[in-house]
């Protein structure tokens, strides 16, 4: 299971009224539980979720976790998702992607498709420039406002 999916699940749990989420994907499973927390002051402190990983997930090395835990600094202009949905880099399965790293794009060029409620929505470039980085993998879920591309003018 991709660590980005786990992070998104943690965010979803924090922002919901749920106390526990269990996700099974093949042989892997993840159980997220909000902890009750200890309150030493009269202020209300939001509980934070705990991650309980199955043995299959514990196979990741510390290096893998360190690499994915590092925050990326975006140098350039970002194109963000206009909606919640699923990211697709090409118009059809097996087709060439709309853009690759290093491609020149003009304002209005189609960069990807976001599927939301069975509707395919084109995401177009707001800038002229070169694709410096593609931040999402094909068929991955995206959130509203999440950075998808970095364009260097």
What domains sit in the chain, N to C, each tagged with a CATH number? 3-69 (no CATH), 77-152 (2.40.50.100)
What pLDDT was estimated at residue 66?
A: 44
Q: Is 87 left (phi over 0), alpha (psi -120 to 50) or beta?
A: beta
Q: What angle do CA 52, 71, 21 make, to 5 degrees?
A: 25
What pLDDT was estimated at residue 54?
A: 53
pTM above 0.95? Answer: no
Query: Which residue(s) pair with 20 in the sheet?
Result: 33
| Cα distances (angstroms) measured from residue 9 to each of 100, 112, 121 | 28, 24, 24
Query: In this predicted model, what pLDDT tens digit does every residue of 37-53 receive, in sequence order?
Result: 544 444 444 555 555 55
Specify the 3-state DSSP secondary structure of 115: strand
Spell out the residues 6+ positions from residue 118 whose beta carbon is closer than 8 angstroms to its own.
Answer: none
- HSE-CB for 133 with a 13 A CA cutoff: 13
**Of residues 135 and 71, which shows the higher confidence score?**
135
């Amino acid at each position: 299971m991709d660590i980005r999916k786990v992070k998104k699940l943690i965010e979803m749990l924090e922002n919901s009224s749920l106390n526990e989420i269990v996700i099974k994907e093949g042989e892997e499973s993840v159980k997220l539980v909000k902890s009750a927390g200890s309150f030493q002051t009269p202020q209300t402190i939001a509980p934070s979720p705990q991650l309980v990983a199955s043995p299959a997930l514990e196979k990741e090395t510390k290096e893998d976790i360190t690499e994915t835990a590092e925050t990326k600094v975006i140098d350039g202009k970002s194109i963000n998702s206009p909606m919640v949905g699923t990211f697709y880099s090409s118009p059809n399965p097996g087709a060439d992607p709309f853009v690759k790293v290093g491609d020149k794009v003009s304002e209005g060029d189609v960069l990807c498709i976001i599927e939301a409620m069975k509707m395919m929505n084109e995401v177009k470039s707001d800038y002229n420039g070169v694709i410096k980085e593609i931040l999402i993998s094909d068929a991955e879920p995206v959130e509203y406002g999440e950075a998808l591309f970095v364009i260097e003018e």
